[in-house]
Amino acid sequence: MPAPDLPRYHVTLTLDGRPAAHGWWQSRATADLKYRAWIGERGSIPGARITLVDETTGAELSSWP
């Protein structure tokens, strides 16, 4: 049986530089939606930083703030 596809896109919430929440998605469109939702839901927390990374290439695709 083949291994399932590993999620490619990783969204991370850090608070004052420490990881607080993570999410992984195979679909870029879904990851983008989650990234924007996290900004709305968690972006006002003091010290929050939210990033979207392509785990295949290691590239940071988006970050807030």
pLDDT in tens, 10-48: 999 999 999 999 999 999 999 999 999 999 999 999 999
pLDDT, position 27? 97
pTM (whole model) above 0.75 = yes
Give the residue among 55, 56, 62 at the shortest CA–CA distance from 10: 55
pLDDT, position 1? 45
